[in-house]
Amino acid sequence: MKTISTAKSHGGVQGVYSHASEACACDMTFAVFVPPQAQNGPCPVVWYLSGLTCTHQNVMDKGEYRRLAAELGLIVVCPDTSPRGESIPDEKDNWQFGCGAGFYLDATQAPFSANYRMYSYITEELPALIAKEFPADMTRQAIFGHSMGGHGALTIALKNPERFRSCSAFAPITRPMVAGWSKPAFEKYLGSDEATWRAYDAVALIEDGRRFSEFLVDQGSADGFLEDGLRPWLLEEVCRSADIPLELNMREGYDHSYFFISTFMDDHLRWHAERLAR
């Protein structure tokens, strides 16, 4: 692991690191905030997965998580959203596929299957690195994210309920296998057999029997992607039928941006901290 930068912030350290990823077959960059409490022992880990077009940096710059994470003693890990580099297959003019759009799945179709293995990266390779290099209590983990990263958080929690004590999302894509901005990516990454897509779709996973303790979701009512891309009511419906408690907060007038995320960041961090302390 290589340290790209560190800066003291809110009594802790905000760092940016890179490493040669085996899962993605390229160098990967990520950000970690370590709170001041880590000087006295391992701290719980909160994973934040970002949305389309983002790197580790967007939430690091604009998410406003450090003040409260420092108070609550939370390590916050912010991975990148895809493999990157000149050798990585990409569609340069398409922000909904390729670099910046890994959708937290393991691609099975060439040429993408060689690098686009973000599910393995986020659930296996990066956790092992975090456990090794940071003062992290890996028995206490939580996961959340935004938009495509909200989809990532929901699906990863549903498939690994024993690992995460809590899961929340800001404006998540709830049903990516049918939404216009994600369906073409699923087809290119996973092939034309839609049955294989269900392993990366929160609604389908619940339909197919996966369960999680409870979810918290915040969604802005003025989000331009609400009707076609996000549709939290689909998650609400399937959670109701599966008896999964869902706190869905519709936030009047908020859009899809970090101005929305940062507004409700404190609520989500407190929600995770309460469950991590149980």
Q: Give the footprint of a copy of itself on residues 253-272 (CB under 8 A).
A: 253-255, 257-260, 262-263, 266
Q: Is 50 a catalytic residue?
A: no
Q: Is 113 a catalytic residue?
A: no
Question: How far is the C-alpha of 154 from the C-alpha of 216, rounded, in Å?
Answer: 10
Q: Which is nearer to a copy of itself, 61 or 124 (CB)?
A: 61
Site string for a copy of itself, 195-234 (x = CB under 8 A): -------------------------x-x------------
In 120-236, at which residue ranges do the beta strands (DSSP E only) sit?
Answer: 136-146, 164-170, 215-220
- The DSSP string of 185-211 is HHHHHH-S-GGGGGGG-HHHHHHTT--
In the block, which residue shows the tokens 């619940």? Answer: 206
Label residues 241-265 b or e (16+ Cβ within 10 Å = b).
eeebebeeeebeebbbebebbebbb
Whether the CB-CB separation of 198 and 191 falls below 8 Å is answered with no
Site string for a copy of itself, 18-57 (x = CB under 8 A): ----------------------------------------
66 binds a copy of itself (CB under 8 A): yes
The single-letter DSSP state of residue 108 is -
Total residues binding a copy of itself (CB under 8 A): 23
Q: Is 147 a catalytic residue?
A: yes
Q: Which is nearer to a copy of itself, 196 or 262 (CB)?
A: 262
Please list the active-site residues.
Answer: 147, 223, 256
Binding site for a copy of itself (CB under 8 A): 7-11, 14, 61-62, 64, 66-67, 220, 222, 253-255, 257-260, 262-263, 266
